[in-house]
Amino acid sequence: SISRLLYLLQQETSSTELRTECAVVLGSLAMGTENNVKSLLDCHIIPALLQGLLSPDLKFIEACLRCLRTIFISPVTPEDLLYTDATVISHLMALLSRSRYTQEYICQIFSHCCKGPDHQTILFNHGAVQNIAHLLVSTSYKVRMQALKCFSFLAFENPQVSMTLVNVSVDGELLPQIFVKMLQRDKPIEMQLTSAKCLTSMCRAGAIRTDDSCIVLKTLPCLVRMCSKERLLEERVEGAETLAYLIETDVELQRIASITDHLIVMLADYFKYPSSVSAITDIKRLDHDLKHAHELRQAAFKLYASLGANDEDIRKKIIETENMMDRIVNGLSESSIKVRLAAVRCLHSLSRSVQQLRTSFQDHAVWKPLMKVLQNAPNEILVVASSTLCNLLLEFSPSKEPILESGAIELLCSLTQSENLALRVNGIWALMNMAFQAEQKIKSDILRGLSTEQLFQLLSDSDVNVLMKTLGLLRNLLSTRPHIDHIMSTHGKQIMQAVTLILEGEHNIEVKEQTLCILANIADGTTAKELIMTNDDILQKIKYYMSHSNAKLQLAAMFCISNLIWNEEEGSQERQDKLRDMGIVDILHKLSQSSDPNLCDK
* 377 and 455 both lie in a single domain: yes
Say yes or no to pLDDT of 377 above 90.
no
Count of CA atoms in the C-beta half-sphere (13 A) of 575: 24
Quick one: what percent of the chain has pLDDT higher than 70?
A: 98
Counted residue by residue, the chain has a size of: 602
Distance (Å, whole) CA 243 – CA 228: 13
Tell me, letter by letter, the H, E, C secondary structure of 155-221.
HCCCHHHHHHHHCCEECCEEHHHHHHHHCCCCCCHHHHHHHHHHHHHHHHCCCCCCCCHHHHHHHHH
Residue 199 lies in a domain: no
Q: What's the predicted TM-score (pTM) here?
A: 0.85
Model pLDDT for residues 127-141, shown as the tens digit of each residue = 999 999 999 999 999
Model pLDDT for residues 54-104, shown as the tens digit of each residue = 999 999 999 999 999 999 999 999 999 999 988 999 999 999 999 999 999
| 279 to 58, 285, 429: CA distances (angstroms) | 51, 8, 48
Residue 57 lies in a domain: no
Distance between terminal CA atoms of the chain? Answer: 92
Report, as an integer, the average pLDDT of 337-365.
87
- CATH classification of the domain holding 549: 1.25.10.10
Distance (Å, whole) CA 500 – CA 494: 10
Least confident of 377-386, 397-406, 440-449, 456-465: 397-406
Cβ-Cβ contacts under 8 Å for 275 (sequence gap 6 or more): 289
pLDDT value at position 404? 80
pLDDT value at position 601? 85
Q: Do residues 547 and 582 lie in contact, with contact meaning Cβ atoms separated by under 8 Å?
A: no
Model pLDDT for residues 420-455, shown as the tens digit of each residue = 999 999 999 999 999 998 888 889 999 999 988 898
Distance (Å, whole) CA 574 – CA 164: 73
Given 477, 502, 534, which residue is the final one in a domain?
477
Could you tell me which residue, 121 or 369, shows the higher pLDDT? 121
Residue 35 lies in a domain: no
* 523 and 589 both lie in a single domain: yes
Cβ-Cβ contacts under 8 Å for 14 (sequence gap 6 or more): 8, 22
Residue 568 lies in a domain: yes
Could you tell me which residue, 286 or 587, shows the higher pLDDT? 587
pLDDT value at position 1? 79
Say yes or no to pLDDT of 535 above 80.
yes
Residue 136 DSSP symbol: G
Residue 274 lies in a domain: no
Report the phi/psi class of residue 440: left, alpha or beta, with left for phi > 0 and alpha for psi in -120 to 50.
Answer: alpha
Given 477, 493, 520, which residue is the final one in a domain?
477
Residue 39 lies in a domain: no
Model pLDDT for residues 146-205, shown as the tens digit of each residue = 999 999 999 999 999 999 999 999 999 999 999 999 999 999 999 999 999 999 999 999
Residue 544 lies in a domain: yes
* 547 and 452 both lie in a single domain: no
Distance (Å, whole) CA 158 – CA 156: 5
Least confident of 50-59, 145-154, 289-298, 308-317: 289-298
* 373 and 468 both lie in a single domain: yes
Distance of CA 567 to the CA centre of its chain: 54
Q: Do residues 198 and 190 lie in contact, with contact meaning Cβ atoms separated by under 8 Å?
A: no
Model pLDDT for residues 507-518, shown as the tens digit of each residue = 999 999 999 999
pLDDT value at position 113? 96
pLDDT value at position 10? 87
Say yes or no to pLDDT of 592 above 90.
no
**Given pLDDT bands bounded at 50, 70 and 90, which one contains residue 291?**
confident
Say yes or no to pLDDT of 277 above 60.
no
* 469 and 492 both lie in a single domain: no
* 410 and 390 both lie in a single domain: yes
Report, as an integer, the average pLDDT of 454-467.
91
* 417 and 436 both lie in a single domain: yes
Q: If you write DSSP's letter for every residue of 288-307 in order, what string do you get? A: HHHHHHHHHHHHHHHHHHHH
Distance (Å, whole) CA 507 – CA 74: 54
* 434 and 489 both lie in a single domain: no
Q: Where are the alpha helices (DSSP H) in 205-262?
A: 213, 220-225, 233-247, 251-258
Three-state SS for 364?
A: coil
* 490 and 524 both lie in a single domain: yes
pLDDT value at position 397? 66
Q: Do residues 396 and 358 lie in contact, with contact meaning Cβ atoms separated by under 8 Å?
A: yes
Burial pattern 493-503, b for ≥16 Cβ within 10 A else e, equals eebbebbeebb
pLDDT value at position 560? 92
Q: If you write DSSP's letter for every residue of 526-541 in order, what string do you get? A: SSTHHHHHT-HHHHHH
Could you tell me which residue, 157 or 567, shows the higher pLDDT? 157
pLDDT value at position 14? 84
Residue 457 lies in a domain: yes
Q: How many domains does the chain divide into?
A: 2
Does residue 75 have a cis peptide bond before it, meaning omega lies within 30 degrees of 0?
no
Question: Which domain, by its residues, includes 448?
Answer: 353-477
Say yes or no to pLDDT of 111 above 90.
yes
* 546 and 594 both lie in a single domain: yes
Say yes or no to pLDDT of 279 above 60.
no
- Mean pLDDT score across all residues of the chain: 91
Given 446, 477, 508, which residue is the final one in a domain?
477
* 365 and 450 both lie in a single domain: yes
Report, as an integer, the average pLDDT of 539-565.
92
Say yes or no to pLDDT of 361 above 70.
yes
Residue 81 DSSP symbol: G
Residue 85 DSSP symbol: S
* 564 and 462 both lie in a single domain: no
